[in-house]
Amino acid sequence: MKPRTQYRSRRVQSVLFEPDHTSMIVRNRQGRHYLIHGDDTRLITGFGDPLDAPATMGYGIYHDADRPNTMWIRDRTGLRPIQGVAATPLERDAPWTRVATRIPNHPIPSPYA
């Protein structure tokens, strides 16, 4: 039987990761991905090396509890830091599509994965 996953705080390699309910990833018409975190918007340029995440850790966007602006994504490859640069989404790049980040066993559709 598969373990049940939950989107809640988890400690991985002595770092406490908390779910970030306010953040989301969106994709524009050209296929670029942006992380929107409150007033901060970042163009995603890639992901760092994955950490082994517990099997019960739910998919989604997390932040480091000690560094709230350090964003991580938990997907089928593990727990990876999101790398990006400050950006401003432009209306001309519409339509914007929200990327599903909490669907179990669903790959994050990204050219950087």
Q: In this predicted model, what pLDDT tens digit does every residue of 31-64 receive, in sequence order?
A: 888 999 888 899 999 889 989 988 889 889 999 9
54 against 5, higher pLDDT: 54
Task: Supply the pLDDT for residue 15.
Answer: 92
pTM of the full structure: 0.82
SS3 state of residue 92: helix
- Beta strands 33-37 and 23-27: pairing type? antiparallel
What's the Cα-to-Cα distance from 24 to each of 1, 21, 29, 54, 88, rounded to whole Å? Answer: 31, 8, 17, 22, 15
Give the closest residue to 86 by CA, choosing from 36, 32, 28: 36
Where are the domains positioned within the chain? 10-100
